[in-house]
């Protein structure tokens, strides 16, 4: 008799625990489904990032869903330089170079030319296509009474190495990381980036110039985008740089401008396939 009671109790307990287990897995699935639905219908949702969205959401409940999607899409849920890969240079003028995508030490673009000194400070090199786009932009700006010139264009790996080292000494590590790329991680090494300033205006004041306002509004028409916009450091990993323009061609520059995206977001959603 005792044995029968014992068996019945054991059996009952097994059933109860199985049921509890089943209920809890069901609950996890439900929660996952609920969380999936939060992200699913949002713009720029990428299905392969769902687990990372949910994880970020659980650890940063204060961040908006749109921002979580943007942050994860550009890999900012990982630390800069943490999960790096070689930049896909097969993308040509659309190659993404940032703190997660680097260029080889020996990489230098082909077909570079020297920018006519009328448009640049000292001898600066860039790609022919970029040079032509810049000159068109320059001439149209001039018609509006605006002038600017190139202060930095192509920079080799070694030049960037020296520059970064100099910043480290002058500013220390934290500030340097906000304003400068480590060697191999600079867009300037691709020949596709131009730093543009107005004459006699220091870098720090460029953002209040008419030239900056003009470039911000019009540069996309010539294939350039403001690469490190104000208020987007949490995605670009760089402080606002009103002088730094990246050439990506007119068609894509127009889309980046109209959708108000950083190139990192645009690349993740439209080009990374
Ligand atoms: Zn720059």
> Does one domain contain both 55 and 122?
no
Domain with 142 in it: 85-271
> Does one domain contain both 116 and 144?
yes
Burial degree of 111 (CB within 10 A; 0-12, 13-18, 19+): exposed
Å from CA of 151 to ligand 1 middle: 9
Q: What is the pLDDT of residues 208-265, one digit of tens each?
A: 999 999 999 999 999 999 999 999 999 999 999 999 999 999 999 999 999 999 999 9
Does residue 80 sit within a domain? Answer: no
What tokens appear for 118 in the block? 């009328």
Q: How many domains does the chain have?
A: 2
> Does one domain contain both 59 and 189?
no
Q: How far is CA 70 from the centre of its chain?
A: 10
Structural element, H or E, at residue 254: helix 250-258
Instruction: Evaluate whether 105 touches 184 at the Cβ level (below 8 Å).
Output: yes
Cβ < 5 A residues, ion ligand 1 = 195, 244
Instruction: Please state the pTM of the whole predicted model.
Output: 0.88
Q: Is 241 a catalytic residue?
A: yes
Å from CA of 50 to ligand 1 middle: 33
Range with the poorest average pLDDT among 22-26, 40-44, 211-215: 22-26
Question: Which among 241, 258, 259, 265 is annotated as catalytic?
Answer: 241
Does residue 78 sit within a domain? Answer: no
Q: What is the pLDDT of residues 77-100, one digit of tens each?
A: 999 999 999 999 999 999 999 999
> Does one domain contain both 49 and 131?
no
Å from CA of 187 to ligand 1 middle: 7
Does residue 79 sit within a domain? Answer: no
> Does one domain contain both 28 and 105?
no
Burial degree of 158 (CB within 10 A; 0-12, 13-18, 19+): exposed
Pairing of strands 85-86, 101-102: parallel
Å from CA of 270 to ligand 1 middle: 24
């Amino acid at each position: 008799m005792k044995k029968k009671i014992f068996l019945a109790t054991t059996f009952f307990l097994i059933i109860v625990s199985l049921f509890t287990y089943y209920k809890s897995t069901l609950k996890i699935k439900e929660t996952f489904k609920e969380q999936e639905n939060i992200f699913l219908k949002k713009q720029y949702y990428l299905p392969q990032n769902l687990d990372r969205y949910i994880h970020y959401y659980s650890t940063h409940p204060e961040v908006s869903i749109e921002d979580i999607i943007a942050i994860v899409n550009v890999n900012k849920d990982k630390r800069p330089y943490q999960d790096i890969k070689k930049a896909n240079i097969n993308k040509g003028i659309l190659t993404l170079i940032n703190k997660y995508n680097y260029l080889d030490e020996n990489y230098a673009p082909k077909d570079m030319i020297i920018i006519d000194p009328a448009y640049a400070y000292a001898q600066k090199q860039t790609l022919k296509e970029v040079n032509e786009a810049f000159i068109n932009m320059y001439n149209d700006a001039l018609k509006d009474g605006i002038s600017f010139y190139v202060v930095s264009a192509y920079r080799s790996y070694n030049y960037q190495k020296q520059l970064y080292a100099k910043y480290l000494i002058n500013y220390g590590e934290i500030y340097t990381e906000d304003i400068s790329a480590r060697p191999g991680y600079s867009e300037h090494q691709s020949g596709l980036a131009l730093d543009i300033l107005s004459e006699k205006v220091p870098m720090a004041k460029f953002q209040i110039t008419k030239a900056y306002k003009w470039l911000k509004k019009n540069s996309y028409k010539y294939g350039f985008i403001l690469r490190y916009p104000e208020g987007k450091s949490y995605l670009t990993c760089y402080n606002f740089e009103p002088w730094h323009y990246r050439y990506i061609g007119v068609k894509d520059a127009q889309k980046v401008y109209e959708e108000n995206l950083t190139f990192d977001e645009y690349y993740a959603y439209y080009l990374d396939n």
